[in-house]
């Protein structure tokens, strides 16, 4: 400090820093810094490390830090990884569409006809989402199994004579289970966007001769497009990396990319390849999500 006495600059910056800290901007940053620094250190930092890892290579027990694209070559061209990636994307896109299509009428009902019980409706619908993630998936295994509830129930009622073996351990079981798991979560963004729909616009549409279906298609649906997009994303992006559902109900034919990623970080101990698989998945699901958003916005324009 003493060496800088003749120099006004440090004192100036010190004073500006002090003033900045007292300003709204400074106070804001100061207040948000504990959770922000935490997320920076334990989320953003580690994700950057994973990205870096994907450009390195495993050399027996150590990691070779020279830049290489060979993990990506393997992740994107090996048939097994390509199949898993493709299947994961397929599952997540189907699950997100099914979830949103099935949830939309429910969100619409709560928003337009929920009256003063809207909050209770939302609570009742979202509660299953908060409890028993692992147990709900287990429950689907119990329902769909060869000697499971559905088969034994149908046999008991003499609807079928032999248990159906096609219920469990395939992609359909994964889709059913995931769609059920995420149903409640999709309701929230849909409900929020439905709440924002100006009800007088619907009256105007009906006064101008639009029937309820046309009114819905031309007013409600386009206005709730942001909610639909949010709901699709909030389901699609997390489900692409689901690990437990394919493991418990997917069987051999329902394995997804997360299972392959886990193997690379566990038994196979090839972090760089696992990292490349993880990064590829995220980039590709991001691109698919972007394409879906553009498609929906195009559709919205068409409807108008």
Partner 1 sequence: MRGSSIRKGVVTAYVALYVAILYFPVLLLPVFSVNDSATPKLPLTGFTLKWYSGLASNETMHSAAWNSLLVGVSAALLSTILGICAARAITRHQFTGKGVASGLIMAPLILPEIIIAISLLVVLLSVGIELSLLTVILGHLLICVPYSVTVLVSGFEGFDPSMEEASRDLGETTWGTLRRVTLPMLAPSIISSLLVTFTISLDEFILAFFLSGTEPTLPVYIWGQLRFAAKLPNVLALGSVMIAASLVMLTVAEIVRRRAEARTAAKTE
Q: Tell me which stretch binds partner 1 (CB under 8 A): 10-18, 93-101, 141-149, 291-299.
A: 141-149
Asked if 292 interacts with partner 1 (CB under 8 A), we say no
| Token representation of residue 125 | 């619908």
Find the binding residues for partner 1 in span 38-67 (CB under 8 A). 38-40, 42-47, 49-50, 53
Residue pair 288/60 in contact (Cβ under 8 Å)? The answer is no
Find the binding residues for partner 1 in span 186-245 (CB under 8 A). 212, 233-234, 237-244
Q: Tell me which stretch binds partner 1 (CB under 8 A): 9-17, 71-79, 93-101, 144-152.
A: 144-152
3-state secondary structure of 59: strand
Q: Tell me which stretch binds partner 1 (CB under 8 A): 9-17, 67-75, 191-199, 273-281.
A: 273-281
The interface mask with partner 1, positions 4-23, x = CB under 8 A, is --------------------
Asked if 101 interacts with partner 1 (CB under 8 A), we say no
Q: Tell me which stretch binds partner 1 (CB under 8 A): 73-81, 194-202, 221-229, 276-284.
A: 276-284
Find the binding residues for partner 1 in span 162-191 (CB under 8 A). 180, 183-184
* Total of chain residues touching partner 1, rule CB under 8 A: 81
CA terminus-to-terminus distance, the chain: 67
CB of 294: closest distance to partner 1 in angstroms? 19
Question: 245, 23, 254: which is closest to 136 by C-alpha?
Answer: 245
Asked if 283 interacts with partner 1 (CB under 8 A), we say no
Residue pair 168/151 in contact (Cβ under 8 Å)? The answer is no
DSSP state of 237: H
Among 76, 97, 106, 292, binds partner 1 (CB under 8 A): 106
**What whole-number distance in Å separates Cα of residue 59 and Cα of residue 17?**
48
**Is residue 239 classed exposed, middle or buried when 0-12, 13-18 and 19+ CB atoms within 10 A define those classes?**
buried
> Which residue stretches of 157-247 are H helix?
171-195, 199-207, 212-215, 221-223, 225-240, 244-245
CB of 53: closest distance to partner 1 in angstroms? 6
Among 17, 133, 268, 294, binds partner 1 (CB under 8 A): 133
> Which residue stretches of 114-148 are H helix?
118-130, 133-144
Asked if 25 interacts with partner 1 (CB under 8 A), we say yes
Q: What is the DSSP string of 253-276?
A: TT--HHHHHHHHHTTT--HHHHHH
């Amino acid at each position: 400090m003493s060496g800088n006495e003749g120099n006004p600059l440090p004192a100036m910056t010190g004073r500006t820093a002090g003033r900045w800290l007292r300003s709204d901007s400074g106070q804001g940053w100061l207040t948000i810094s504990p959770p922000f620094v935490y997320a920076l250190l334990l989320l953003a930092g580690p994700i950057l490390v994973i990205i870096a890892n994907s450009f390195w290579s495993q050399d027996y027990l150590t990691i070779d830090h020279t830049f290489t694209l060979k993990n990506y070559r393997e992740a994107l061209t090996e048939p097994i990884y390509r199949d898993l990636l493709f299947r994961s994307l397929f599952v997540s896109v189907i699950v997100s569409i099914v979830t949103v299509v099935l949830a939309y009428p429910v969100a619409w009902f709560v928003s337009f006809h929920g009256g003063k019980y809207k909050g209770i409706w939302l609570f009742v619908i979202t509660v299953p989402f908060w409890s028993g993630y692992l147990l709900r998936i287990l429950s689907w295994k119990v329902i769909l199994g060869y000697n499971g509830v559905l088969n034994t129930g149908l046999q008991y009622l003499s609807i079928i004579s032999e248990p159906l073996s096609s219920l469990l351990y395939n992609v359909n079981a994964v889709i059913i289970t995931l769609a059920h798991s995420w149903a409640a979560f999709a309701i929230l963004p849909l409900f929020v966007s439905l709440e924002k729909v100006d009800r007088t616009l619907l009256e105007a549409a009906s006064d101008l001769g639009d029937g309820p279906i046309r009114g819905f298609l031309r007013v409600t649906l386009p206005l709730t497009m942001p909610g639909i997009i949010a709901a699709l994303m909030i389901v699609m992006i997390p489900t692409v990396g689901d690990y437990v559902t394919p493991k418990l109900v997917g069987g051999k034919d329902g394995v997804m990319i997360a299972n392959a990623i886990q193997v690379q970080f566990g038994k196979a101990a090839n972090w760089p390849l696992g990292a490349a698989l993880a990064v590829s998945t995220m980039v590709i699901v991001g691109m698919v999500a972007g394409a879906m958003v553009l498609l929906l916005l195009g559709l919205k324009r068409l409807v108008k």
